[in-house]
Amino acid sequence: QLGADEVSAAKPAPDGLLKCCQAMCVEPADCAYIGDAPTDGLAAKAAGMRGIGVSWGSHSSDSLAPAFPELVKTVEELGKALLP
């Protein structure tokens, strides 16, 4: 189990995402990070991960768009984005 207290820098720094990849022995480029805040998208980009924004959180699609290369509006769309 990894949490925010395990890294020194919070998102948008990629530290937490990279630590998770290291713990699971996977490359960041092989991962997708799904988030509902602009800092999530910025962290994914900084880590070298695919970033997918979900618009059903506390941020609007307009505020997420600059931070995420992909945005989805429903769980069904997220499933299709992950498993085309």
CB 63 within 8 A of CB 35: no
Q: What is the pLDDT of residue 1?
A: 78
pLDDT tens digits in sequence order for the chain, 84 residues long: 788 888 989 999 999 999 999 999 999 999 999 999 999 999 999 999 999 999 999 999 999 999 999 999 999 999 999 998
Total number of domains constituting the chain: 1
CA proximity to 67, closest of 31, 43, 83, 32: 43
Global pTM value? 0.92
Which range of residues forms the domain containing residue 16? 4-82
CATH of the domain at 15: 3.40.50.1000
CA distance 59 to 38: 8
pLDDT score for 54: 98
